[in-house]
Structure formats: structure tokens, C-alpha cells
């Protein structure tokens, strides 16, 4: 086995039909894993599964993770398909932007339910399957997809989003302590990547991001794919409780 080989492993990626989730699924497939992708929009998952099927086994699932019941339902579906789960990528999320004076209660409820509560509920429900995959040499893995907006004060008025991502980073540390040694829990904090969620922001700000970022560009699919494979593989068997920025250096760059 090589450090980055995931042959024989099984992974679940939430929000796997597009954007960061699709990038994660791509990397896992290329490394040899069987990948289940889940989304509220089953059509997105089916389209992604069809596009990536030549790389390996990928299975689309429908899931609404905005409620505890939806998280339980997805965990039950996964348990009916696999005997053990090596990797859980908690990626499904939502964003909401509005001026401070107009920011509504619904913006807190929707974003916290999906971006913070769902990763906890799903990890809780799938902990048994994750422990089944763990070995003394290599723990099972939970990867929480955070954001650089949870590492620094964002320029945009996305109060609930940035707060939820900062909380998810800390929940990652808490769960790393709670679930070790059988399960390693880490987070990835992406910067700007081409995705539907980021489309409007990139239309307005991509040139600024590229000017400010020390590496001079926005993210590419392989940047997320590589980070996910690293944190899912033997290469990171001694890493837990970490938050890895994948942002070209934006989170440490001065905006002045």
C-alpha cells in the first residue's frame, strides 16, 4: 500500500453533486475509493456520478440534511449499503448574505442547521460504521469542510455563515478528542474556488483574490482533491484536530 492509496476504502461525501463536494469525490475516486455522494438535489448527484463513473464506483443518494431526521435517514441508507465507512466528508452547506440591519432570523436557522448541526448529527449517527473501518494502524476519518471565512473576519456580510464555519472548526477539535483513537477528525478551510455558491462573489472579486493571494490564483479542483486524499489516507494517520487552509495563502495575507 502506498501512502495515498485508498483502494478498498469507502467514503461518503455530503453535498457531493457539485462544487467542493464534487472535487472531494473526484480525488477519492482517483485514489481508489468507493464513493457515495449525497445531496438534497439528487439530479446533481446522478449527473456527477455519470460523469465520474469511469474512475471507479460512485453511487448517488438523496438526502436533506437540514434536519436531524434527514441526517438519521441518510445514515440508515448508508448502513444498508456498507458494513463499514472509512471516510465521512461533511461538505453540505448553505450561505446567506445580507446587510447587518436586515439580516433575518431565518438566515441563522438555515445556515446553522446545515453547516454546523448536520455535521455533528451525521458524525454521531455514522460513528459506529466509522469505528468498524478503523484499524490500529489507521483510524477512520471525518473531514469537515469549513472556510477561510471561519479563520478571519470576512469582507462580505455573511454573519451566520462565517460564525458557523468558525464553530465547525472548533467542533472538529472537540470531536477529535472525543472520537480518538478510532476516528481522526480534521477540517479543510477552502478559500475561493469556482462553484455555484461562489459564482457571484468571483464575478465581482476574482481579480482581487488573485492579487492578494500569495500564490496568485483561486483554487482548482485538484487542490481540494489532494487535500481530501491526504487527510483520508495513511499519509495523515497521525493527524487529528487540524484545520487545513486550502486558500493560496489568503487567510494569512494582508488586505491593506
Q: What span, in angstroms and rounded, lies between the C-alpha atoms of 198 and 23?
A: 14
Active site residue 121: no
Please give the angle made by the CA atoms of 55, 17 and 21, to the nearest 5 degrees: 80
Residues 6+ apart with CB under 8 A from 113: 66, 67
The residue among 167, 1, 180 whose CA lies nearest residue 93 is 167
**Dist. CA 183–CA 177, nearest whole Å:** 9
Cα 159–chain centre separation = 20
Catalytic residue among 121, 159, 161, 230: 161
Q: Does residue 174 sit in helix, strand or coil?
A: helix
Q: Which residues are CB-contacts of 94 (< 8 A; sequence separation ≥ 6)? A: 110, 111, 114, 115, 161
Catalytic residues: 161
Amino acid at each position: 500500500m502506498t501512502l495515498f492509496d485508498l483502494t478498498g476504502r469507502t467514503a461518503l461525501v455530503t453535498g457531493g453533486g457539485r462544487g467542493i463536494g464534487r472535487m472531494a469525490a473526484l480525488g477519492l475516486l482517483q485514489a481508489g475509493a468507493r464513493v457515495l455522494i449525497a445531496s438534497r438535489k439528487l439530479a446533481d448527484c446522478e449527473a456527477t456520478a455519470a460523469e465520474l463513473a469511469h474512475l471507479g464506483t460512485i453511487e448517488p443518494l438523496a438526502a436533506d440534511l437540514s434536519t436531524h431526521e434527514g441526517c438519521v435517514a441518510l445514515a440508515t441508507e448508508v448502513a444498508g449499503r456498507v458494513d463499514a465507512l472509512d471516510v465521512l466528508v461533511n461538505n453540505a452547506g448553505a450561505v446567506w448574505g445580507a446587510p447587518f440591519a436586515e439580516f433575518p432570523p431565518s438566515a441563522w436557522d438555515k445556515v446553522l442547521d446545515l453547516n454546523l448541526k448536520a455535521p455533528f448529527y451525521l458524525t454521531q449517527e455514522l460513528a459506529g460504521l466509522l469505528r468498524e473501518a478503523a484499524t490500529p494502524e489507521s483510524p477512520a476519518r471525518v473531514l469537515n469542510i469549513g472556510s477561510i471565512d471561519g479563520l478571519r473576519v470576512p469582507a462580505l456580510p455573511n454573519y451566520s455563515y462565517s460564525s458557523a464555519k468558525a464553530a465547525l472548526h472548533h467542533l472538529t477539535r472537540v470531536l477529535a478528542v472525543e472520537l480518538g483513537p478510532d476516528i481522526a477528525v480534521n477540517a479543510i478551510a477552502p478559500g475561493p474556488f469556482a462553484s455555484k455558491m461562489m459564482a457571484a462573489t468571483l464575478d465581482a472579486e476574482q481579480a482581487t483574490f488573485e492579487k492578494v493571494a500569495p500564490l496568485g490564483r483561486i483554487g482548482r479542483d485538484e487542490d481540494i482533491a489532494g487535500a481530501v486524499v491526504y487527510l483520508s489516507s495513511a499519509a495523515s494517520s497521525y493527524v487529528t484536530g487540524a484545520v487545513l487552509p486550502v486558500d493560496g495563502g489568503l487567510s494569512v495575507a494582508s488586505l491593506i
